[in-house]
């Protein structure tokens, strides 16, 4: 059973965090990014992709794609909410939290300098409970919930670094509204 009851062109058949946010704001669910090319941007554009990464070269590819599509007016850019839920694939691929945190802050800074002013940055979910994190682990490496202690601790460290980095970024972006959201509270 799917939430949408039909294929919608996404890698998931359930709702995303941005869908719940759109619902709370009285907006329709956001279409996948390929259906967003050339929209009027009045209330949606979704660039979420499966297996994307915040690390290079994807960041430059995203910047290059902006040249291929009709961008909204600066007024729309400045009034938009940028929801950043990034780094999950980088983290689970063992690419290192410091590079992911630094790239996340850099992306926020880049969007700010292109006119973005409102940012909702979500931290990493507790990936220690993902089946891929649990393969072959002995019981001694699992917590009371059956999740990987090592991954869970690493996520806590990453999220602390992200929160600190965003606090520093906030100091350099005086007109930005930068909100850090703790995804572990959504469960």
Q: How many CB atoms lie within 10 A of CB 79?
A: 13
The pLDDT of residue 61 is above 60: no
- Residue 58 banded pLDDT, cuts 50, 70, 90: very low
H or E element, residue 179: strand 177-181
pLDDT at 172: 93
Q: How many CB atoms lie within 10 A of CB 160?
A: 13
Q: How far is CA 90 from the centre of its chain?
A: 12
Backbone Cα Rg of the chain: 17
Q: Is 67 exposed, middle or buried (0-12, 13-18, 19+ CB in 10 A)?
A: exposed
pTM, two decimals, is 0.76
| Lowest model confidence (mean pLDDT) among 34-48, 54-68, 165-179 | 54-68
pLDDT in tens, 93-106: 765 666 777 777 88
H or E element, residue 33: helix 33-36
Structural domain containing residue 62:
52-186
Do 40 and 5 fall within a single domain? yes
Q: How many CB atoms lie within 10 A of CB 175?
A: 7
Do 43 and 124 fall within a single domain? no
Calpha distance 17→100 (Å, rounded): 20
The pLDDT of residue 160 is above 90: yes
Do 40 and 87 fall within a single domain? no
Q: Which two tokens stand for residue 64?
A: 């290059």
Do 37 and 99 fall within a single domain? no
Do 108 and 175 fall within a single domain? yes
Which CATH number is 130's domain given? 3.40.50.1110
Q: Which of 17, 35, 50 is the last residue of a domain?
A: 50
Do 43 and 56 fall within a single domain? no
- Residue 52 banded pLDDT, cuts 50, 70, 90: low
* Total domains, the chain: 2
């Amino acid at each position: 059973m799917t939430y949408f009851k039909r294929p919608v062109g996404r890698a998931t058949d359930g709702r995303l965090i941005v869908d719940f946010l759109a619902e709370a704001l009285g907006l329709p669910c956001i279409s996948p990014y390929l259906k967003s090319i050339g929209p009027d941007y009045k209330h949606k554009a979704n660039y979420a992709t499966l297996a994307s990464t915040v690390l290079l070269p994807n960041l430059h590819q995203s910047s290059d794609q902006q040249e291929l599509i009709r961008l909204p007016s600066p007024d729309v850019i400045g009034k938009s909410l940028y929801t950043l839920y990034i780094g999950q694939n980088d983290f689970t691929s063992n690419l290192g939290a410091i590079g992911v945190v630094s790239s996340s802050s850099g992306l926020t800074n880049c969007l700010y300098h292109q006119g973005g002013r409102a940012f909702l940055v979500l931290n990493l979910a507790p990936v220690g409970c993902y089946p891929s994190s649990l393969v072959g682990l002995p019981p001694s490496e699992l917590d009371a919930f059956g999740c990987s202690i090592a991954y869970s601790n690493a996520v806590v460290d990453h999220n602390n670094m992200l929160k600190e980095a965003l606090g520093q970024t906030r100091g350099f972006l005086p007109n930005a509204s930068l909100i850090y959201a703790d995804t572990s509270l959504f469960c």
